[in-house]
Chains A and B, each alone.
Chain A
């Protein structure tokens, strides 16, 4: 674990794995909740956690240098179930890459337990981990100009759901009616970092 200064008020803490990033994020949230850490933003990502709006980044960096991370705590939130029709235009392609039938690919995806590793790209867009590493798939070389809202896609080790229509290069395996983002709802985002998620197959 190393902490890189980002300007004068932020730190980028870098770790080796997804799991460590999730453990670090959980620990930093815990410290902020108990009042021992003041940070305006705590932004987890693939191998890092960014802390912004810090009063004394150097002191926090010194503490982090000697810190030992506790393991990822069990999720503190209820599992969010996302109903999915496995009807995406790339389902057959993904199944071929996995060496299984499209039906089996859908079954494998729905059998995995996911967790939101981090959010980004658009409000409410979560990067979900949980598929075994051998099921990672590359993005499309040329992104689609418009991916419909509710599309469930795969890219690298991640599963994601498009909160709204946007360009996108993920391989689309299904569709959901779940509303990922609604700014009139509290909370606005269905998924936030650390949320446990399951995809529940529904009829075609």
Chain B
């Protein structure tokens, strides 16, 4: 009998199980969650022959060490990082065979933030509302990895990857985010809107899976007071009272009471997931200001 499981030897700073998340439950207060760098996650799944919605691991900055109990194929991508099997260097961004009991080491990111570790068969922890993703805001899904934890793996689908390696975008040296203004751009002064669109912000170290926080010139409000709580979307750029924009990522709250000055195009969010603290951020307005 093969024991298809993955033993966590070193969990790293924050390693979570992620898939495509649980959209469709926002009206119950359930965040969507899911891999922050979706294209990287999908590509790693493809490289090991998994369907795109298979659950994999998302590491944060310093990787993790894993020991599969049976032979598996893995692929590590997203943030560039050293990969080794039993101490021998192995390929990044390509399928790698890991024998039963061998130690797979995913090292610290050379650039970028989040590496994705796909394992043939996928991580098969119990799904919650149709997803195995860890949601750090509401606590749904499995807890972040801890040393000694054992993660069950599914059976490989028998689908062979048609690619040995695939190009991946480099983590951004400068994060350029195309944004559509609104829905609450009218809560800000004309000066604030100009500042938002022209000044360079920086990624704050307080960023996490809930939001990419920025540091830079504060955005002044034209309207004081509180906004009644309203629904929030992925990529919403919310401006809390300190005036520094926060870009909502996968674990964002479903409702919020701070005004959203603009919304980032979904295609630009994977790069936001890989922007290390200190990375310059520019917001580029696109789309009309208002449609009736």
Contacts and interface: CB of A to CB of B under 8 A. Distances in A.
Interface of A: 4-10, 12, 40-50, 52-53, 58, 61-62, 65, 118-125, 127, 164, 183, 188-189, 192-193
B166 interface: no
Nearest to A194: B27
Interface stretch (B91-99, B116-124, B196-204, B228-236): B228-236
5 contacts: A4-B183, A8-B180, A40-B23, A45-B229, A120-B29
Contacts of B129: 183, 188
B233 A7 contact: yes
Contacts of A9: 266
A61 B288 CA distance: 15
Contacts of A193: 27
Contacts of A44: 27, 231
A41 B184 CA distance: 20
Contact of A61 (B138, B230, B291): B291
Nearest to B29: A119
Contact of A120 (B229, B264, B265): B229
Interface of B: 23-30, 128-129, 138-140, 180, 182-184, 228-233, 235-236, 253-255, 260, 263-266, 287, 290-292
A49 B231 contact: yes
Nearest to A4: B183
A41 B180 contact: no
Nearest to B184: A4
Nearest to A45: B230
A89 to B, nearest CB: 24
Given A65-B292, A121-B253, A183-B140, A6 B29 contact: no
Nearest to A12: B183
A196 to B, nearest CB: 17
Contacts of B253: 120-121
Contacts, number: 114
Given A6-B263, A10-B233, A120-B229, A43 B291 contact: no
Given A4-B182, A7-B265, A12-B183, A124 B292 contact: no
A158 to B, nearest CB: 10
A67 B266 CA distance: 30
A123 B28 contact: yes
B29 A48 contact: no
A130 to B, nearest CB: 17
Contacts of A12: 183, 230-231
Instruction: Choose among A6, A12, A50 the residue with the greatest number of B CB atoms under 10 Å from its CB.
Output: A6
Contacts of A58: 291
Given A7-B266, A45-B255, A61-B292, 7 more contacts: A6-B182, A6-B236, A10-B233, A10-B263, A43-B254, A123-B29, A183-B140
Given A6-B236, A48-B230, A50-B231, A43 B26 contact: yes
A155 B244 CA distance: 27
A148 B138 CA distance: 16
B231 to A, nearest CB: 3
Given A45-B255, A47-B228, A61-B292, A125 B29 contact: yes
A37 B6 CA distance: 43
A6 B27 contact: no
A183 to B, nearest CB: 5
B263 to A, nearest CB: 3
B255 A43 contact: yes
Contact of B128 (A7, A10, A50, A183): A183
Instruction: Choose among B253, B254, B266, B287 the residue with the greatest number of A CB atoms under 10 Å from its CB.
Output: B254
B292 A43 contact: no
Contacts of A65: 292
A189 B233 CA distance: 21
Contacts of A10: 233, 263
Contact of A192 (B27, B230, B231, B287): B27
Instruction: Choose among A7, A10, A125 the residue with the greatest number of B CB atoms under 10 Å from its CB.
Output: A7
A201 B129 CA distance: 32
B27 A5 contact: no
Contacts of A188: 28, 129
Nearest to B235: A7
A48 B26 CA distance: 14
Instruction: Choose among A44, A120, A183 the residue with the greatest number of B CB atoms under 10 Å from its CB.
Output: A120
Contact of B233 (A42, A52, A118, A119): A52
A5 B233 contact: no
A43 B234 CA distance: 13
A41 B24 contact: yes
